[in-house]
Chains A and B, each alone.
Chain A
Amino acid sequence: MTSQSRAPRTLFEKVWDDHIVRPSTDSTPAVLYVDLHLVHEVTSPQAFTRLRERGLAVRRPDRTVATMDHSTPTTPRNSAGLIPISDSLAAAQLEQLARNCEDFGVELHELGADQQGIVHVIGPELGLTQPGMTIVCGDSHTSTHGAFGALAFGIGTSEVGHVLATQCLLQRKPKTMEVHVDGALRPGVTAKDIILAVIAKIGIGGGTGHVIEYTGPAIRALGMEQRMTICNMSIEGGARAGMIAPDDTTFEYVAGRPRAPHGADWDAALARWRTLPTDDGARYDRSVTISASELAPMITYGTNPGMGMSIDSPVPDPDSLADGSDRAALAKALGYMDIRPGERLLGRPVDVVFVGSCTNSRISDLRLAAGVMRGRKVAPGVRMLVVPGSQQVKRQAEAEGLHTIFRDAGAEWREAGCSMCIAMNGDALGPGQYAVSTSNRNFEGRQGKGSRTFLASPLTAAATAVRGAIADARELSDD
């Protein structure tokens, strides 16, 4: 950076300023450089087609990494060690990605390969995701990578093409919003509960036009995987990106990973990364505060992630809302969910429990769920899927014996992928079925046509699997 005496800046502003190729003017947006472009099979084919049509190359294949995750089956491997694909459309899409990566020289982690997994799980675990970077992917949960103090956001397929061809995007500078999380979490309350509480507070569109920075002691106390859970769901509050200032927790996580800097490069990077946190006196366009100490496990009751509450609360009554449009929205959501106003969700039977997704499929998430499942059984009539976020997470879990805990309990232990979060790979709920899911979206039909989703933490999901009905893990531990 240049000036010694510039105005105090936020973490976001530092990363933004550092990636300006051409500044914005009244008539043109900034040209913003992208350090890392992550690619998957669903949102990239039309972008590669466009490159072919125009005779363009991928500008920086060395800054582009692809994986297969969304439409991939998570069913067990066959005797040859391969994961069979029965859906011909999915197979064609995966083949297309392989061909595109081959033709354009892009690194690809193919289905079943050692480092394959959900794009937002493998980026951090490979050490590709680093503080101060700009990271994009044709996926709204790219916000996950902001946990490292990167500016990371989802883009559409046209923009995937822009980045493939030029390594740049045209962007207007977003506003900033601080979400300050005070206090300390009580036992049995997790990062997932923090972010569900934040979204319930600001609303599903509350962060629109903003980049969120999460600050405060409750955030600093979290490990990297928990910080990823928080930043992951920024988009569910309408913010394209969520960021957390890097600190020793961050550096410790990144150090030694295969694609992280090493030796003298590490020292130089570390010196740079230590300058990233928001300066004293820097201003955010908006600020909200929540107290972690007051939080209980959270659960959603409706059809968007903003419709969340403490697990022991009564479901809100549409008649209690002043705005007619809000009233109609809540009534529609409760109708879809077939839930009565004022009802308590604890004890409500479910059909399926899903532990997985880019929100909660990392090793610490699986450890939390396994801790609840150990020595217990999945309730009769309930199907529980545990889907590790990556092949590496799967290997680690198996090395720790977590898969045995899940299997002994009667849960399905799957191959890595997005699975039932987006339900385009065959892992889906049936019409009208209820699931407690550790994923990020409870939209109508998100987990399969007619599906009904309650979003919650891995602890709540595991406790629910054991009881066969929505349960508070803190009460289960007294059994």
Chain B
Amino acid sequence: MTETITPVRHVESSYVVLDVQNIDTDQIIPARFLKVTDRAGLGDALFADWRYDADGSPRADFVLNRPESRGAEILVAGHNFGCGSSREHAPWALRGYGIRAVVSTRFADIFHSNALKNGLLPVTIPAEVHDLLVSWPANGSRPRLGIDVAKQLLTLPDGTEVTFPLESFSKHCLLEGVDELGYLLNAAAEIAAYEEARP
């Protein structure tokens, strides 16, 4: 019953900084884009209200629209990323755009859970590391980060290695491309026994 999904073992990329606290899922993808029945095209709506002008043209001052941001697969964001609505459209939009990891000092619970189910790495780091990451790209350079899922290591542009927490089963699923639904389906006999035993 196990479905294979693409394993996520390493991410190595330049990064973009969106140093705003409490970026809620309404900012990540506004509700008017949720009237869909699939996941296609959601990357275009990522951060729509910050990214586009009223006429739909890209705002030159928004970080994702700057030339040096092109190709970055890691987003460094402010404290408490992904708060608010449970919409899984938020990680779908980030993945659809091409982001493979978000680095922050804290993630909201539901976003964190949704991200891991979509191969999007939520990397939680201490505030002092966040401050360093925010300061580096200021001079227009394109510093790079490395993420090693197996070792739970974030490698900073200066080579410093920082460990980050990762729940053991989520880590296993990422590394092996294991699908949680398959795991639950394999528990069918225990689920039936539980149902049988209930009042």
Instruction: Give the interface of A toward B (CB within 8 A).
Output: 21-22, 26-29, 31, 33, 42-43, 45-46, 49-50, 54, 56, 59, 70-71, 87, 89-90, 92-93, 96, 138-140, 154-159, 161-162, 165-170, 172, 174, 204-205, 208-209, 235, 238, 240, 268, 272, 304, 306, 325-326, 328-329, 332, 422-424, 431, 441, 443-446, 449-450
CA distance A204 to B84 in the complex (A): 9
A273 CB, nearest partner CB in chain B, Å: 12
Q: Could you list 25 examples of A-B contacts with CB < 8 Å? A: A21-B191, A27-B169, A43-B86, A45-B37, A45-B38, A46-B39, A92-B35, A139-B86, A156-B113, A156-B117, A158-B117, A158-B118, A162-B180, A165-B181, A166-B188, A168-B191, A169-B184, A170-B183, A172-B167, A174-B109, A208-B107, A268-B199, A423-B31, A441-B84, A445-B26
CA distance A172 to B114 in the complex (A): 14
B34 CB, nearest partner CB in chain A, Å: 5
B141 within 8 A of A: no
B3 within 8 A of A: yes
CA distance A176 to B114 in the complex (A): 22
CB nearest to B115 among chain A residues: A156
B122 within 8 A of A: no
Instruction: Give the interface of B toward A (CB within 8 A).
Output: 3, 19-22, 24, 26-27, 30-32, 34-39, 49, 54, 78-80, 83-88, 91, 106-110, 113-114, 117-118, 167-169, 172, 180-181, 183-185, 187-188, 190-191, 194-195, 199
Given A21-B187, A156-B88, A205-B83, the answer on whether A443 and B26 have CB atoms closer than 8 Å is yes
Contacting residues, chain B, for A328 (C-beta < 8 A):
19, 21
Given A26-B168, A43-B87, A209-B109, the answer on whether A165 and B185 have CB atoms closer than 8 Å is yes
B21 contacts A158, CB within 8 Å? Answer: no
A240 contacts B109, CB within 8 Å? Answer: yes
B80 contacts A208, CB within 8 Å? Answer: yes
A34 CB, nearest partner CB in chain B, Å: 10
CB nearest to A158 among chain B residues: B117
Contacting residues, chain A, for B38 (C-beta < 8 A):
45-46, 49
Given A33-B191, A89-B36, A168-B187, the answer on whether A431 and B54 have CB atoms closer than 8 Å is yes
CA distance A101 to B33 in the complex (A): 23
A31 contacts B191, CB within 8 Å? Answer: yes
CA distance A159 to B87 in the complex (A): 11
B169 contacts A29, CB within 8 Å? Answer: yes
B88 contacts A140, CB within 8 Å? Answer: no
Contacting residues, chain B, for A446 (C-beta < 8 A):
26, 31
CB nearest to B3 among chain A residues: A54
Given A45-B38, A155-B86, A158-B118, the answer on whether A22 and B190 have CB atoms closer than 8 Å is yes
A156 contacts B114, CB within 8 Å? Answer: yes
Contacting residues, chain B, for A174 (C-beta < 8 A):
109
A475 CB, nearest partner CB in chain B, Å: 33
Given A54-B3, A155-B86, A446-B26, the answer on whether A423 and B32 have CB atoms closer than 8 Å is yes
CB nearest to B78 among chain A residues: A325
Given A156-B117, A446-B26, the answer on whether A166 and B110 have CB atoms closer than 8 Å is no
Contacting residues, chain B, for A235 (C-beta < 8 A):
84, 110
A91 CB, nearest partner CB in chain B, Å: 9
Pick the most buried of A90, A93, A168, A205: most chain B CB atoms within 10 A of its CB.
A205
CB nearest to A56 among chain B residues: B185
Contacting residues, chain B, for A450 (C-beta < 8 A):
49
Contacting residues, chain A, for B31 (C-beta < 8 A):
422-424, 446
Contacting residues, chain B, for A240 (C-beta < 8 A):
109-110
Given A33-B191, A93-B36, A166-B184, the answer on whether A441 and B26 have CB atoms closer than 8 Å is yes
